[in-house]
Amino acid sequence: MNTLKITKATTDDVLKLQSIGRQTFSETFADVNSEENMKKYLDESFATAKLTAELKNLSSYFYLAVLDEKIVGYLKLNTADAQTEKEDLNALEIERIYVAKEFHGKKVAQALYAQAEQMAEEIKASYMWLGVWEKNFRAVSFYTKNGFIQFDTHIFRLGNDEQTDLMMKKVLI
């Protein structure tokens, strides 16, 4: 594998972000969710206007994983009031780490996670937290390996399906 670069996304990257977001979410969840619910979620969550607004939010940060000029994954972080749950203003939320299926097991997710750790250090966050679907065993294992522990659950809506996410956190100070 050649050099993997993690680059901060800007509004100029909205279509690239939309493409990798739709691809990786579909690869991860299409087999275990209805086509109707997947379409509704993808259309809403990855709409150009919504992603542009998120990219412009000064409390949200997107990073692209680029390998040989190809985007192979991305990361979304939230701080302050951009967090999806109001846990603590001094925390960093990892809202999304997604990697294209063909690059699973190639340390791309770990490189994106390292970027999250760097951001947490820069903002002096007291902890990092996230929500991960209880049936996404690969992701739960990844976060557990990186020191996260479950502290709660919450409901994630995919179309009209309510799913349970594990809330996990890693205390930093």
Please give the positions annotated as active site.
143
Dihedral angle sign, alpha carbons of residues 39, 45, 46, 48: positive
Nearest to 153 by CA among 137, 125, 134: 134
Strands across the sheet containing 91-99: 4-8, 60-67, 70-78, 91-99, 127-133, 161-171, 149-158
Residues present in the chain in total:
173
